[in-house]
Each structure stands twice: as structure tokens, then as C-alpha cells.
Amino acid sequence: MNRFVLPLAAFALLLVVLLVGLKRAPEKNNLPSPLIGKSAPQFTLPNLFDNTRPLSSEALKGHWSLVNVWGTWCVECRAEHAALLQIKQQARVPIIGIDWKDQDEDALAWLAQLGNPYERVGTDHDGRVAIDWGVYGAPESFLISPAGTVVYKHIGAMTPQVWERDFLPRISATLGRPESPATPASAPVGTGSGA
């Protein structure tokens, strides 16, 4: 009787370890970003819409923002586009686009055709800024706090579900009640500092 206890316990332990591994297998591809909790990487990129006003990381300061890395060559980006437009409609957080390794004409045509969810778009032609942000597969979306800290990263297409489950709670935790737009004094989240 007693001699079975230890092997059984060992077997149970192994079972638990393997089950946890199996359960967490789908998360395997969502690698944690080392940038979480750190300040967002500095960058200056050409502005897709206005050559004279480059987009810099200063534009992320002073308000919450959603940084979305995309490209017209990216199939998943097309899939998430409607969700981004919807987030823009709620107008709570400005979306800053980083157009990754793309042609400007293609990007402009894409936005003209599908609608533009972005407040501003920087064009990262050689992919250096994307590397600084640890991007390895578009689309990727980063939530940046008013202090300029990377709060959260989502890899893959943005959906309304992901936005409501993973992003909104993190914003509303500090914003207080985002559900009350009737207070104009603290309302303008987006256009605080138009640098």
C-alpha cells in the first residue's frame, strides 16, 4: 500500500505539469514584450500625410495612445482595420500608426479605400523603429500611458473583444470612469498636446 504512494504522487505531479503546459500551449506564440513597464522607445519617423511634420515619440506624451504597427502587405492588418475604425469612433484614445516596411503610395491608397483610423502615421521604411519596439509580426498594438510608458502589447489582429478585455480596463483604471463623457473639463484625452 505504502509503496504506491510516492510513485502515484510523482505521477500526479507530472500530470499537473503536463496539463498546465497543454492548457497554455496557445499562448506559446504570444511572447511577453520586455518593453512592458518601460518607457516607449524614442523615434522620429516621416509623417505619411505631411512631409514637413515628422512624427516623433513626443506625440505619445500627455495622453493615452494606441500604437499600431501595420503594413499594406499584412493580411491580418486588413482583418483588424474595422476594429481600429470602431475604436477611433469611440474617440477615447488616439491611434498612432507605424507603417512598417511599406510603400507610401500603397499606404495612402489603403487608407483612402478602407478609411483612416489613425490620428497620425509614421512611415518606417527600413524597419528600424519596429525593431526598437520589438515588433516581429504585424499587426501589433501597444498601449502607451500618458507618461509614455508601454502598458500592454497585443500581437495579432485587434478586435473589439481584445480592446474591451485587455485595453480598456487598463485605461479606465487610471482615467476613473470612462463611461461618463459628460465632464468636458477632463474629457480631451486625445488632443492634449499637439506637438
For binding to other proteins (CB under 8 A), which residues are involved? Answer: 29, 31-35, 101, 126-128, 131-134, 136-137
Query: Which residue type does 170 have?
Result: R
- Helix, strand or coil for residue 129? helix
Task: Say if residue 165 is exposed, middle or buried (CB neighbours under 10 Å; 0-12, 13-18, 19+).
Answer: exposed
Residue 29 or 113: which CB sits closer to other proteins?
29
Instruction: Kindly state the smallest distance separating residue 6's Cβ from other proteins, in Å.
Output: 10
- Closer to other proteins by CB, 28 or 177: give it: 28
Q: How far apart are CA 83 and CA 79, in angstroms?
A: 8
Minimum distance from CB of 136 to other proteins (Å)?
A: 4
Give the Cβ contact number of residue 51 at 10 Å: 9
**Beta carbon nearer to other proteins, 45 or 168:** 45
State whether the Cα torsion 129-138-20-151 is positive or negative.
positive
Return the number of the residue (3 or 23) whose C-beta is nearest other proteins: 3
What's the closest the beta carbon of residue 40 comes to other proteins, in angstroms?
12
3-state secondary structure of 99: strand
Please report how close the Cβ of residue 31 comes to other proteins at its closest, in angstroms: 5
Determine if the peptide bond prior to 139 is cis (ω within 30°): yes
